[in-house]
C-alpha cells in the first residue's frame, strides 16, 4: 500500500458535500456515517462509501456553536445493523444503519442534571454487548451506560467532569475493563455494572483530557497536552479492585510526550505521537518513544497539529491545514513517503477501508485511493 508517492499525487475517487463539525467517519457494509451541522441542526448522515452518494440524513438536535469550533465532535459507532451517535449538546441516539430511522434518543446531559462541557460533548459512544457508554459529566454520573435496544439507563458512576476523551474497552490488569479518561482522572470500570475498579487522578487546565487511553502489555497509558505529559500505569489486583503503580511517568515542560487531541499509535512496542508544547507557541512535534520505558527514539520538530491512523507499516496523517502526509512507521527515524493538499482545515483522523482513505473538513468528504 503506497510504498512510493504517485507522480501525479494520490488519486481522488469522489468528493461529496458534508457539513460543519469534527466528527470522524465510520465505515461498514460499504456505508459511511458521520455527524455534520447544517441548516440549523446536527445531523447523522450516511453516504455510499464507494460512490459518495447520499443514502439518508437524520436530524438529531439543534445546532451547536462554540468558540473552539461549531458542530458535533463525537464519531458515530456502528454495531451490527445499528449506529449510535452523541451530539455536541449531549443527545445520544441509536438509529438503523440501513435507513437512519431513529430507534431511541436520550438527552443525556439534561436527564442526568449535568451541563455541557465547555467545548462541547465529545465522547464517541462505546458499545459493549447490549450497552452504549458515554461520558456525561453529571453528578454521580460522569459515565453512563444505556441499553442498546431500549435506551434504558443501566448504570451511572463517578463525579468527574466529562473531559473530551472517549471510553474504551481494554484488556488490562488481567481482565476486560472499560477505561475512561475523564476531565479529572483515569477510571477503570466493570462493563456490566460500572463498578469502579481503580481511579488515577489526572487534573488538567479546563478539564482538557482528550486522547484515548491505550493498553500496553496489560498496562494503561494516558497522556494530555500542553504542559502536562504521559504516564504508564500498572494495575495490581487488591481484593476486588486494583492498586496502581507508575511504570514510568513524564510530566511537565520536559515530558517526552504531551498528546493534546491526538491519540498516539502503538506499533511493535513503539508509540508514535504528537507532542504538543503549549508554553512555546504552541508547537507540535511528531515523536516516537519506546512504550515500555518512555525513552524518546526520535522526533520530527514542528511537524504540526495533526491526527493519524496506521496501516501496512505506515502512518497516515491528516494535518490541521488539510494535507495528507504518509510516513513510514520507523522506530529509528522520520521517513516521509509524500504529502498532498486535500482539504481545508480539519482535525479529524482519516478512515481506511479496502485501500480507500476517507477524510473530511468543515465542508466536504473526500475518498482517495492509497493502494500502490
The low-confidence residues of the chain, meaning pLDDT below 50, are none
CA dihedral 290, 293, 298, 303 (to 10 degrees): 80
Determine the Cα–Cα distance for residues 13 and 354; give it in Å rounded to an integer.
13
What does the pLDDT read at residue 281?
61
Grid cell at residue 43: 445531523
165-220 pLDDT, tens digit per residue, is 999 999 999 999 999 999 999 999 999 999 999 999 999 988 999 999 999 999 99
Q: What is the pTM of this model?
A: 0.96
Helix or strand or coil: residue 328? strand
Distances, alpha carbon 190 to alpha carbons 22, 133, 135, 168, 232, in Å: 30, 12, 15, 12, 20
First to last CA, the chain: 5
The pLDDT score that the predictor gives to residue 162 is: 96
Question: How confident is the model at residue 1, as a pLDDT?
Answer: 86
Q: The C-alpha cell of 325 is what? A: 502526509
329-372 per-position pLDDT tens digit: 999 999 999 999 999 999 999 999 999 999 999 999 999 999 98
Q: Retrieve residue 53's grid coordinates.
A: 452518494
Q: Which residues pair with 4 in a beta bridge?
A: none
What is the domain partition of the chain in residue ranges? 1-22+262-372
Q: Does domain 1-22+262-372 have CATH number 2.10.240.10?
A: no
Distance CA 352, CA 357 (A): 5
Amino acid at each position: 500500500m503506497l510504498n512510493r508517492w504517485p507522480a501525479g499525487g494520490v488519486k481522488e475517487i469522489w468528493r461529496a458535500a458534508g457539513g460543519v463539525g469534527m466528527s470522524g467517519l465510520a465505515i461498514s457494509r460499504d456505508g459511511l456515517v458521520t455527524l455534520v451541522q447544517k441548516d440549523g441542526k446536527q445531523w447523522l448522515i450516511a453516504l455510499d462509501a464507494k460512490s459518495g452518494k447520499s443514502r439518508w440524513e437524520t436530524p438529531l438536535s439543534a445546532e451547536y456553536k462554540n468558540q473552539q469550533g461549531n458542530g458535533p465532535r463525537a464519531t458515530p459507532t456502528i454495531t451490527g445493523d445499528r449506529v449510535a451517535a452523541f451530539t455536541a449538546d449531549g443527545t445520544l441516539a441509536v438509529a438503523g444503519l440501513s435507513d437512519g430511522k431513529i430507534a431511541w434518543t436520550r438527552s443525556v446531559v439534561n436527564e442526568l442534571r449535568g451541563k455541557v462541557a465547555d467545548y462541547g460533548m465529545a465522547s464517541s459512544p462505546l458499545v459493549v454487548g447490549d450497552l452504549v457508554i458515554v461520558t456525561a459529566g453529571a453528578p454521580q454520573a460522569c459515565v453512563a451506560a444505556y441499553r442498546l435496544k431500549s435506551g434504558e439507563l443501566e448504570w451511572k458512576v463517578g463525579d468527574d467532569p466529562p473531559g473530551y476523551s472517549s471510553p474504551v474497552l481494554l484488556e488490562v490488569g488481567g481482565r476486560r475493563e472499560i477505561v475512561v479518561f475523564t476531565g479529572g482522572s483515569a477510571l477503570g470500570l466493570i462493563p456490566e455494572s460500572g463498578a469502579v475498579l481503580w481511579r488515577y487522578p489526572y487534573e488538567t487546565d479546563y478539564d482538557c483530557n482528550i486522547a484515548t487511553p491505550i493498553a500496553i502489555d496489560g498496562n494503561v497509558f494516558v497522556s494530555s497536552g500542553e504542559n502536562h505529559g504521559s504516564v504508564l500505569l500498572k494495575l495490581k489486583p487488591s481484593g476486588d479492585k486494583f492498586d496502581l503503580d507508575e511504570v514510568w511517568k513524564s510530566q511537565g515542560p520536559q515530558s517526552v510526550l504531551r498528546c493534546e487531541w491526538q491519540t498516539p499509535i502503538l506499533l511493535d512496542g513503539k508509540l508514535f505521537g504528537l507532542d504538543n508544547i503549549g508554553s512555546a507557541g504552541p508547537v507540535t512535534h511528531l515523536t516516537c518513544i519506546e512504550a515500555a520505558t518512555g525513552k524518546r527514539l526520535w522526533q520530527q520538530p514542528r511537524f504540526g497539529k495533526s491526527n493519524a491512523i496506521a496501516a501496512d507499516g505506515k502512518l497516515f496523517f491528516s494535518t490541521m491545514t488539510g494535507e495528507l502526509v504518509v510516513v513510514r512507521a520507523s522506530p529509528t527515524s522520520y521517513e516521509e513517503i509524500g504529502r498532498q493538499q486535500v482539504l481545508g482545515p480539519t482535525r479529524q483522523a482519516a478512515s481506511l477501508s479496502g485501500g480507500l482513505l476517507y477524510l473530511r473538513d468543515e465542508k466536504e468528504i473526500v475518498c482517495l485511493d492509497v493502494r500502490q
